[in-house]
Amino acid sequence: MLSLLKHPRDWPMLLGMSLLRLICLLPYRWLMALGRTLGRLLYHGLASRRGVAAINLELTHPHLTDKARSGLLRASFQSLGCMVFEAGLAWWSSNRRIAGLSEVLGQDQLLSLLGEGQGVLLVSAHFTTLEIGTRILCDAIPGQIAGLYRKHGSAALDTVVRGSRLRYAANLFNRLQTRQAVRHMRQGHALWYAADQDYGRGDSIFVPFLGVTASTITSTHHLARMGNARVIMVSQQRLPEGRGYRLVFSRPLDGIPSDDIQADTLRINQQLDQMVFANPEQYLWIHRRFKTRPEGHESLYRRPGNL
């Protein structure tokens, strides 16, 4: 960390991280109030991302009125603001503080599988509670959970985030370390994986996601097959009134992996659909989830003022 101080370009980010760490010493309810306030500012300050989120909500919630979608959009940005302080909580809080904010349900079957030496692929999505949810997950099953990790563009930020996550995660693997991730599961451990983003046409197929035909990575099928792993869905929820978080493990999904990649990928998307529609304001709508379109289809994001 100290070596990063040699680069002046990294000083603002490191100062911001230090400030975030201090702020996260405040009581939890204060942090969530600050997060909602930050989210209101982000709503006005991130116009292009607000446009992307608005299009995503229009595509996935056509049954809502314009007023209802507008309310959901604003709520999602407040959730996004909370995400900033939840990241700080996840990276630097004590186990005792995290435990006091956590409710974990359905972990018995996961613990049983791991106790038998059976590898498990834990599948979730990019919710605004991703960082705090992952911390709760790793604390609930200590020493067993690794994650797939996408490097940040800033080396300094990547050092801070990776180092903080490795305080509680058993390991982190990037997209070039598939063999290591598979080996982790074959050794009887669990791998956390978010399967909902659009990575283009490579290793992807088009199946419905949230009611929209979406380019969907097939990695869930491949990781489960290569790792000889059972698949368990993990949902996470920020509870109202400052009551913390609820993490819920599904029963192991029977029949995955099968010999049908498309059926497996569709089934995972259907499971993710249920998670998102249960708590839509907590999903990360600012991602251009539907940017890759089938041949002959126009971009869904080519609208004035949007990415």
| Whole-number Å distance between alpha carbons of 219 and 145 | 18
Asked if pLDDT for residue 156 goes beyond 90, the answer is no
The answer, yes or no, to whether residue 307 has pLDDT greater than 80, is no
For the chain, give the mean pLDDT: 93
Residue 289, helix vs strand vs coil: coil
pLDDT at 3 over 60: no
Tokens of 263: 């059926």
Sheet holding 120-124, edge to edge: 102-105, 245-249, 230-238, 120-124, 190-194, 145-148, 171-173
So where are the chain's domains? Answer: 12-282
* 210: nearest Cα among 294, 254, 268, 282: 268
Q: Compute CA distances 143 → 8, 75, 114, 140, 169, whole Å.
A: 36, 35, 11, 10, 7
Distance CA 261, CA 93 (A): 40
Residue 304 pLDDT: 47
For the stretch 182-238, pLDDT in tens is: 999 999 999 999 999 898 888 899 999 999 999 999 999 999 999 999 999 999 999
| pTM value surpassing 0.85 | yes
